[in-house]
Structure 1
Amino acid sequence: MTSSTELDTGLPLDMIIFGGMGDLAMRKLLPALYMAYLHGNLPPSTRILSTGRQEFDRSAYLAHVQEHSRSFIAESNFNEQTWNGFLNLLVYVRLDVQQAADFNTLAEASRGGAQRVFYLSTAPSLFITICDKLSEAGLVDRNARVVLEKPLGRDLPSAIDINEAVGRHFAESQIYRIDHYLGKETVQNLMVLRFGNSILEPLWRAPNISSVQITVAEEVGVGSRAGFYDSTGAMRDMVQNHLLQLLCIVAMEPPTSLTPDAVRDEKLKVIRSLRRFRLADIARDTVRGQYGHGVSGNQEVPGYLEESNVPPDSKTETFVALRAHVDTWRWSKVPFYLRTGKRMARRSSKIVVEFANPPFPLFPETPGGVANRLVIELQPEEAIKLQVMAKQPGTGMKMQQVELNLDLQSAFQQRRAEAYERLLIDVVRGRLTHFMRRDELEAAWEWADPIINGWGTLDEKPHSYAAGSWGPAEAFALLARDGFSWIE
């Protein structure tokens, strides 16, 4: 295991994962914790306690981890000796969250005097029960921290209920509402790009910027999550959290400092400045879609209604596109186009900031105008590209778009940690900046709920789109009305 700088805490760590046998724990959390261990970013005497309902002894649990988690660690990062050392940190505790006695068993397994981090990788409906029983078992103290996975609730009332219940046992400074998009290197780099460079800040406003696009496209379908997804949909699963958080970072004013509350105060102002949707706005400025049969990854795939555990008459959206407005001086009349969907043409997450054309068309022969864009790619690769116009070689003054490309992979020699690894280290070290505050979360639901309720009032089926496409035609018409098009 490599060395690291001195850690912030002197306490041993007990990381306790509820839902520790689940998909998220195996694919993301344990590999992220292995990477943190590999690079010396876990405190000495760390233990990772995974809870589940299965009747596993230690050897059966470790075999399960070997089978379901090991493959999510890149071969370039795998070291057999380090992996075996990491496995020695793992403890399995059989626990049914409905049984108070099982929490007493967990209390016996946890060490007195350790800093406990409770990671709630379960359905949000279990958060209240888990926190109540943790407190009853005497597991919550002033050093404890709790991590809440999204979506936190399914609407504003349920989010308030969860926040109230968790807040009875944990102070706000102990609560980490996680959105893994905020752990991505390029998202955090956006803060530096905006506020650390005098070139961009004077231009980062209307009328210099004509539009902003935020796309989070997934190639996969709902798969084994169909039962959960059908009661959730793309608006709750992606827009209310991931896309809205990206919008906040693009649109926020400079914070007075990088302290957690200073940054989150500015993000909250953005959410509260979002124009609320009336029913007529919902009908005009939002598009719901649902993928049908198609071809993805060179294979035929079923439509959403053909997935197992999906009702044949489901109206749940797997795609959302909408036009939003931030009603501030900086963003007056600048549309923000948000788009997310499953079974899209490819996996792609990006932010596109389109700058306004020059006021006088000096080069009128240029097709499509003078397109200057800042493209921030989040996945599958992370990069920042500035698209500018340049003269084509030869006679005449014909122009062509070229890219000034900051390849973050080659620009820095340091290893680039994955989002969950970075955020888990932040939790251990008590850094709250990249986690949502309660008022921020509730303001997001205040904006999203009228859209979801409006769809219920309109009672229309989602527009169909073929799996492997870029979504329904209506999403392209949404931008075409304003003279824009999606940047793929």
Structure 2
Amino acid sequence: MAGVDTTVPGNPLREERDRRLPRIAGPCCMVIFGVTGDLSRKKLMPAIYDLANRGLLPPSFALVGFARRDWADEDFSQTVLDAVKEHARTPFRQEVWDQLAAGIRFVTGTFDDDASYTELANALTTLDAERGTGGNYAFYLAIPPNAFPVVLEQLSRTGLAQAADPGPGQRKPWRRVVIEKPFGHDLESAKELNALVNGVFPEESVFRIDHYLGKETVQNLLALRFANELFEPIWNANYVDHVQITMAEDIGLGGRAGYYDGIGAARDVIQNHLLQLLALTAMEDPVSFSPKQLQIEKIKVLSATKLVEPLDETTARGQYTEGWQGSEHVVGLQDEEGFDPNSRTETYAAITLNVDTRRWAGVPFYLRTGKRLGRRVTEIAVVFKRAPHLPFDATMTEELGQNALVVRVQPDEGITLRFGSKVPGSGMEVRDVNMDFSYGESFTESSPEAYERLIFDVLLGEPSLFPVNEEVELSWRILDPVLEHWAETGKPDTYESGTWGPVSADEMLARTGREWRRP
């Protein structure tokens, strides 16, 4: 506005301008345990660089790696640089790298070595003095869950987990911990893990990473629902026939067979990713988008979610056999190196759930995931009821299906609306057409990687996209009866690689007159 000085403190235009500016993390340091693994190299290091490249990290940001390698700071810095050049989303800029590299340090040690943590504490104190990180530390545990107890115990013993009170009038530094799934193996182990972590870090300082929640399309589901009046009146059991939530992969286990055996598709994907997507799809509108209000609404949904029985008819599981993935012939699960041929671990899992609320009562939610399926895709399909009356001859509507709103989480992020339309011509033939919205075509700015958003939120102390322990435990409460039932019913069915799962999964929906979408 002409004649108004927006630099004056308290000016409403300045406050509006500041609100629209991107937030920047304050002075801090991230410590990565397990820094030599694939997760760090392919996801964490590139994401940190991308945040710096976007101007979202403070100039004083520091990164500390902790591992057994006998590396100097320069060796670790070169490893980070190699990972950035190979996997970063944004272009490489030397000036950004030079500023980031100035705060990179490495500590050699094992998880159970007291002296290594003393060296880590000294390194962090030195960074506080040299870089001005202010005693604000985020500890990223990119390590197997069985290593959590010893690392947490050491962080507690050395005082690194809790900052000392700086005195009157001064802000206390923050300490946070980031943990990756799996969040336990069942309900009992999840409770034990939560108690272990909360014994060192209070719940508000614990950030459980579910990378799917960091994807732009997942967050856009909230915008789609609550920023548009178009969908709210029909987002309920009066109009919705059922909901399908799918995460399909076209890859096999490869070198992860040993890790995957004993975990399986249901534990690996349904317990966390798919149940979180269900909660976001079915939740009521929150009072605000504060983290607490979002968590309250998700917990309400998970508390009301029940398995549909009998489980013999409402669940399905399978193991892939050899087949064709496109033009490539691939081996079956039993031939994957490191996999027990007698294993009952499933690579495909599907379950049926009801959300027992006024909005969703009677609407089945079908969740499925699998490896070596037809293509790689993650989507949420809200399938609507058929029109109660069609004033057309049956031959005119043979190719007409049910209306559907499909949110594509990956890889082609966007939204598709399927509805019936008249075919051009003199006759009154109606068939399905798609109206499509694509992120890549609608926005010039590319979507940040999920780990960019999640790491940034950790540094900001913004917990909206991270499941709290009650969500984790409720998810296991839902899934545990399925796992127990499968443990008592022999080996899984089989399905050919490149198809869409076992016949039993198709039969699961066919019993109710429905069928799976073929993305």
Where on the TM-score scale, by shorter chain, does this alignment land: which range? over 0.9
Classify 1:468/1:81 alpha carbon distance in 2 versus 1 (closer, same or farther; 3 Å): farther
Residue 84 of structure 1: how far off its partner (Å): 4.6
1:375 is aligned with what amino acid?
V
Contact 1:357/1:369, CA 8 A, preserved across alignment: no
Using the alignment, how far apart are the partners of 2:361 and 2:398 within structure 1? 28
Larger radius of gyration: 2
Q: Which residue in the other structure is 1:230 paired with?
A: 261
- Partners of 2:295 and 2:499 lie apart in 1 by 36
Q: How does 1:403-418 map to 2 (within 5 A)?
A: 403-418=434-449
Structure 1 partner of 2:120: 106
Amino acid at match of 1:422: R
Q: Does 1:26 align with 2:44?
A: no
Of stretches 54-63 and 379-388 in structure 1, the one that deviates more from structure 2 is 54-63
Please report how far the alpha carbon of residue 131 of structure 1 lies from its aligned counterpart in structure 2 after TM superposition: 1.4
Residue 301 (structure 1) shift: 2.2
Runs of 4+ more than 6 Å apart: none
Structure-to-structure mapping, 1:155-304, within 5 angstroms = 155-276=186-307, 281-304=310-333
Gaps of 5+ in 2: 1-19, 129-133, 164-173
Shift of 1:63: 4.0
Corresponding residue for residue 73 of structure 1: 88
CA 1:130–1:277 in 2, change beyond 3 Å: closer, same or farther? farther
Amino acid at match of 1:129: V
Q: How many residues align?
A: 480
1:61 aligns with 2:91: no
What SS class does the counterpart of residue 160 from structure 2 fall into? Answer: coil
Give the equivalent residue in structure 2 for 1:306: 335
- Name 1:327's counterpart in structure 2: 356
Q: State the distance in 2 between where 1:93 and 1:5 align.
A: 36
In structure 2, what is the equivalent of residue 123 of structure 1? 144
- Residue type matched to 2:314 in 1? D
Gaps of 5+ in 1: none
The yes-or-no answer on 1:343 pairing with 2:372 is yes
Partner of 1:482: 512
**Cα gap change, 1:216/1:5 in structure 2, threshold over 3 Å: closer, same or farther?**
same
CA deviation profile, 1:242-298 (whole Å, cap 9, x unmatched): 0000011111111111111111111111111111466xx221111111111222253
The reply to whether residue 471 of structure 1 matches residue 501 of structure 2 is yes
How far apart, CA to CA, are the structure 2 residues paired with 1:426 and 1:56? 30
Distance 1:323 1:26, change over 3 A: same
Q: CA deviation at 1:384?
A: 0.7
Within 5 A, what are the aligned runs for 1:12-51? 12-51=27-66
The 10-residue stretch of structure 1 (200-209 or 288-297) with the greater mean CA deviation from structure 2: 288-297
1-structure distance, mates of 2:432, 2:44: 41
Indicate the residue corresponding to 1:397 in structure 2: 428
* Among 32, 52, 72, the residue aligned to 2:67: 52
Contact 1:277–1:451 (CA<8 Å) still a contact in 2? no
- When structure 1 is superposed on structure 2, of 257-266 and 218-227 the one drifting more is 218-227
For the residue of structure 2 that corresponds to 1:420, the secondary structure is helix
Distance across 2 between alignment mates of 1:189 and 1:131: 35
**Deviation of the 1:56 alpha carbon:** 2.3
- Partner SS state of residue 453, structure 2: helix
Q: 1:301 to 1:84 in 2, by over 3 A?
A: farther
CA distance in 2, matches of 1:65, 1:223: 26
Q: Distance in 1 between matches of 2:404 and 2:118?
A: 57
TM-score w.r.t. the length of structure 2 is 0.88
Give the match's secondary structure for 1:45. coil
Query: Which SS does the other structure have where 1:322 is aligned?
Result: strand
**Matched-pair contact (CA < 8 Å) for 1:16–1:50:** yes
One-letter code of the match for 1:125?
A: N
Is the deviation greater in 379-388 or in 406-415?
406-415
Deviation at 1:340, TM superposition (A): 0.5
Identify the match of residue 446 of structure 1 among 447, 456, 477. 477
1:8 CA displacement: 5.7
With the length of structure 1 as denominator, give the TM-score of the two structures. 0.94
Q: For structure 1, which segment, 50-59 or 84-93, has the greater mean C-alpha deviation from structure 2 after superposition?
A: 84-93
